[in-house]
Amino acid sequence: GARTPLHGSAHEVAPAEAAGRWLTELMRLDWKRIEPAGFAAAHIARRTGDRTRDIDEALRAQVLQRLASVGAPASWSALVRDVVELDQESRTRMFGDALPPGLKLLR
């Protein structure tokens, strides 16, 4: 559901309409109780700078409001609000484990 692929081509990501449906479902969850829901929503709503991949601005505003209301890390809101590179913590979390020492992800 990420709007910017960790690897591969940008045309292989799910369309904005599908991302919008997923976000609508995630918005129904209790993000304080289910912490990964906010992380997932931030990455699905992530601003790419490509209008064909970016979600609707009204939905983006809802996600930002919800992230703020649950006290999500500022870096999650920044992903939704601005075009930014993933920080090391987010890359590690998305892969599910840390990379071996010395190994770096290249874009």
Q: For residue 104, is it within any domain?
A: no
Flag residues of the chain having pLDDT under 70.
1-11, 86-107
Residue 13: per-residue pLDDT:
78
Residue 76: per-residue pLDDT:
93
Residue 85: per-residue pLDDT:
76
Q: What are the structure tokens assigned to 4, written together?
A: 């910017």
Residue 84: per-residue pLDDT:
85
Q: For residue 48, is it within any domain?
A: yes
Residue 31: per-residue pLDDT:
95
b/e sequence 27-47, b meaning 16+ C-beta within 10 Å: eeeebeeeeebbbbbbbbbbb
Residue 15: per-residue pLDDT:
86
Nearest to 28 by CA among 16, 37, 15, 39: 37
Residue 41: per-residue pLDDT:
95
Q: For residue 2, is it within any domain?
A: no
Q: For residue 24, is it within any domain?
A: yes
Q: How many domains does the chain have?
A: 1
Query: With contact defined as beta carbons under 8 Å apart, do 86 and 94 qualify?
Result: yes
Residue 35: per-residue pLDDT:
85
Rounded to the nearest 10 degrees, the angle between the axes of helix 74-81 and helix 57-69 is 170
Q: For residue 16, is it within any domain?
A: yes
